[in-house]
Structure 1
Amino acid sequence: MSRARRARGAGWAWPALVWIVATALVGATVLLQVVVRPQLASDPLVGGGRLDAPASAQAPGAVLPGLSAPSASVDAAALARTLEALPRDGLGDLAGLVVDAETGTELYRVGSGARTPASSMKVLSGVVALDVLGADTRFETRTYLTADGQVILRGGGDPLLASAHQDAYPHAASLEDLAASTAEALRARGVTSVELGYDASLFGGPAWNPLWPETFATSVAPITALTVDHARPDANSWARSTDPARLAADAFASRLAAQGIAVTEVEAEATPAEAQQVAAVTSPPVGVLVEHTLSESDNDAAETLLWQVALARGKTPNPDVSAATLITELTRLGLWSDGMVAHDGNGISADNQVTPDALVGAVRLAVQRPALRHLLTGLPVAGVSGTLDERFDAADSLAGRGLVRAKTGTIRGVNTLTGYVVTADGQPLVFAFMTSGGAGQTSARAWLDRASSALASCGC
């Protein structure tokens, strides 16, 4: 084809293409106006007969209307038959309680007296921390400058303090951010080299609870007011430092050096009264700390929060003082009874003894009091989050996945589960099951998952 013919062909092609596109647009407009719009206008999901008036649609109903008005109440006898029929092969000793979350009416009980709670103890220390400290309270890690030019790093008892900046939830405070602010203030003063002191005196000692077995040295660190990264020298290791405050000070010195402030010496030092505050970073609020503690079963955080409670009550925290404070506060809340024993707030001590009534009572308090609701929102979700993320996968416990919210508890020979669930009929229940002995952890966990799932699927 000649160049002239190709040019003439191209000249006709463009007008034709424009005509085709215009015709298509006109056709689409007619289709929308004549066919689609009348159909949508009469569609009840659109509402009001007009595409530009979505506000005329009716408001949706309650997502879970059964929560406020159960379709049926749980029959205690039927519930007992359901739970008693569950196989208990290899379970060992069992104590448990199920109550109506709103009224407290007892619906099921098995066993009597106090048992070892393991990490379900965190439910008790968590409710006390929320009640005494308040959900919005935060803890500060600060730096000070002394008259002779020394920088003091002072711990405020922040259990989640990290060495590196944290963008992810729960947005823990970091020594990296504190070092950046401190270095900026020092440079403004013309300071480029300092001696570093560190002060963990907010808490007393000893820091290690003598009733914690040494085998738990990888599960909890000595409790101090200045701890970073859960006292792990290496983020990829379970090892814990025996001197968390010094570890934190060394980490801070490295962060200062990275900001151009040379650190010539690091030593423990009390903060002089006349020292001027230079910078500070703040922890997440107590409500978030409690949620984290319960979800992840954080032993360090649970114990640190209990020591903060003792401090708030005007006492110098140590293992004995903090345990005694826990007993006093649980008594005040009506959760303490004869036969119970408390030696810590994280449940590591096998000598702790609490009743299912106390655990159920703590959860019920959180149901009743909005100020304590972080206790509920922090409980792991069956098969979904926290320490329950890999459980409830057996055929007889699938009904509880996503519905059961409960705190686990595991030490040698002990398995517990404490929490709440809404039945198939919409009735909220609170429960605590405590097992010990038996064939082992597998059998105990299987029964705990099975029993709490039976509550979720109960149409009793």
Structure 2
Amino acid sequence: MARRRGWVWPTVTWIAVLTVGVAVWVVRFPVAQALDTDPRVGVGHVAARPVADAPHAVLPVLPPPSVTPTSDPATPVPTTPVPDPGTPDPDTSNPAAVAARLAAIPNPGGGDIVGVVLDARTGAEIHRIGDGVRTPASSMKVLSGVVALDVLGPETRFATTALLTADAGTVVLRGGGDPLLTTAPAPADTHPQPASLQELAAATVAALQARGISTVALGFDATRFGGPAWNPQWPDIFATSVAPITALTADHARPDPASAVRDPDPARFAATRFAEALRSAGIAVTAVNPAATPGDAVELAHVESPPVRALVGESLLRSDNDTAETLTWQVAVARGRPATPADAAGVLAEELQRLGLWTDGMVVHDGNGIAGTNQVSPDALARAVALGIARDDLRALATGLPVAGVTGTLAERYTAPDSLAGRGVVRAKTGTIRGVNTLTGYTVTADGHPLVFAFMVSGGAGQTSARAWLDAASAALASCGC
């Protein structure tokens, strides 16, 4: 018992931070921001140093419960903080115990499994299942998220701007690549709080009226990003799971917030909504057309996106495909490359290599994991999570992961008897496309050892059996005396 108390108080210190963080992230958008599944299967819920050189860090996780887990899966496992100051147990984890726990989990679905478990404080390998690269599905967002935080910086925001041409005849709506821009303001308690076109329109109208202008044409400029807007590696079946990627979009390009259907021209869709807001405020808009922003145009107003750390958290919690891919394209822009599918994927690969998150055989074609041609190793995924734990500037990667049985894409999982021990304890990113199920995240064992894991299941009987194994495997780590 003395060993267990040693890790509890430092971990509990993180609870205060994460309790706020989790409350902040649990928000409702009009519809789920992404499908963390293949739409053919069904709708789901919706320079740096390698980790080996990073300082040790205690995982900012919810601790294992100090009470018996509830047998009711509808109720998250309660946690009772134990105020006992101390330091994390310095003993190394027990690889044999981890191996035994994982080996005991049945795999009735017969899927091919590869995975790795690492000591989060040292980066040392604790256990390995199989070898090689596999399709990551939405676990790819772990890799694109850590790169976005590292390259763009956690506090960077992206502006959507209204500008006036020199002849005062045209307002240009210039997109800055804000993936969460909305038409109408979100409720005040929504987090992250998105920027809105109505807010921008109100400020633009005030600026126009101050100049005595009541009639304008509207141009819209989405040239920050190139094209094609649809990644050729994405099957058309995913057209409701992700919108064409442009630097100007609103409402995730959904004309009807209750529907998953996307507008095929997100930039024009956003500009049309902006024109409607201008007209409702008394400005006559004579035309709406694409237009490059003239160099002598003057700014009338702008609105800013939530910071990158919040965007990464949103992409992880809800498996938001639009946000993850947009951030990947923003990384390309930051590195001086065109924001196209090919360039964004190329820059992502380069950055992963720089961060030490690359192994032989890896191939990346996008940042959100929709491309079934992506091939990554469980080592890269696990070490990305470890980096998010070790570095303060990357911490949003760790805190943004869903909590098992509580939030995001894990809210309705961990209901089987062999996975209940993971509820409220495991934090992980899910990944599902046809024939692929993955889980990447971290936990703290019953003995207080912080572990990072990545498990990838391919083939087999299907999604249900694969998810059951993933939930049970991660729960086994959480409850292990390892």
Q: TM-score, normalised by structure 2?
A: 0.81
Contact 2:162 2:299 in 1 (8 A): yes
* Equivalent residue, structure 2, for 1:379: 401
Instruction: Say if 2:426 is the partner of 1:426.
Output: no
State the aligned residue count: 399
**Cα pair distance change 1:101/1:63, threshold 3 Å:** farther
Distance 1:162 1:111 in 2: 44
- Give, in angstroms, the shift of residue 74 of structure 1: 2.6
CA distances 1:33-81 after superposition (whole Å, capped 9, x unpaired)? xxxxxxxxxxxxxxxxxxxxxxxxxxxx974757x42386431112101
Contact 2:176 2:224 in 1 (8 A): yes
* Equivalent residue, structure 2, for 1:16: none
Find the residue that maps to 1:217 and give its secondary structure. Answer: helix
2:181 to 161, 168, 175: 161
2:290 to 264, 268, 280: 268
Find the residue that maps to 1:197 and give its secondary structure. Answer: strand
* Equivalent residue, structure 2, for 1:152: 172
* Equivalent residue, structure 2, for 1:77: 96
Find the residue that maps to 1:109 and give its secondary structure. Answer: strand
Find the residue that maps to 1:266 and give its secondary structure. Answer: strand
CA distances 1:206-245 after superposition (whole Å, capped 9, x unpaired)? 1100110000000001100000001111111110111000
Contact 1:72 1:425 in 2 (8 A): no
Equivalences for 1:26-425 in 2 at 5 Å? 63=83, 68-70=87-89, 73-148=92-167, 149-166=169-186, 167=188, 168-425=190-447
* Equivalent residue, structure 2, for 1:455: 477
Contact 2:97 2:481 in 1 (8 A): no
Q: TM-score, normalised by structure 1?
A: 0.85
Distance 2:342 2:453 in 1: 30
Contact 2:136 2:431 in 1 (8 A): yes
Higher relative contact order (CA 8 A, sep 6+): 2
- Give, in angstroms, the shift of residue 430 of structure 1: 0.1
Distance 1:302 1:378 in 2: 13
Distance 2:101 2:224 in 1: 51
What is the percent sequence identity of the aligned residues? 65
CA distances 1:85-105 after superposition (whole Å, capped 9, x unpaired)? 111101410000001000111
Distance 1:406 1:64 in 2: 27
CA distances 1:360-416 after superposition (whole Å, capped 9, x unpaired)? 110111111111000001000000001000000111111000000000000001000
Gaps of 5+ in 1: 1-60
Distance 1:105 1:91 in 2: 29
CA distances 1:405-430 after superposition (whole Å, capped 9, x unpaired)? 00000000100000000111111000
Find the residue that maps to 1:373 and give its secondary structure. Answer: helix
- Give, in angstroms, the shift of residue 193 of structure 1: 1.6
**Cα pair distance change 1:229/1:415, threshold 3 Å:** same
**Counterpart amino acid of 2:129?**
V
Which one has the bigger helix percentage?
Answer: 1
- Give, in angstroms, the shift of residue 191 of structure 1: 1.2
Deviates more, 1:73-82 or 1:158-167: 73-82
**Counterpart amino acid of 2:265?**
D
Distance 1:116 1:64 in 2: 43
Deviates more, 1:338-347 or 1:165-174: 165-174
Contact 2:253 2:262 in 1 (8 A): yes
Structure 1 runs (4+) greater than 3 angstroms displaced: 61-66
Contact 1:116 1:414 in 2 (8 A): yes
Gaps of 5+ in 2: 1-80
**Counterpart amino acid of 2:113?**
L
**Cα pair distance change 1:113/1:65, threshold 3 Å:** farther
CA distances 1:127-158 after superposition (whole Å, capped 9, x unpaired)? 00000000000000000000222100000000
**Counterpart amino acid of 2:136?**
P
**Counterpart amino acid of 1:245?**
A
Distance 2:102 2:129 in 1: 10
**Cα pair distance change 1:209/1:395, threshold 3 Å:** same
Distance 2:419 2:89 in 1: 23
Contact 1:382 1:402 in 2 (8 A): yes
CA distances 1:231-279 after superposition (whole Å, capped 9, x unpaired)? 1111111101110000000000011112111211100111000000000
Contact 1:418 1:431 in 2 (8 A): yes
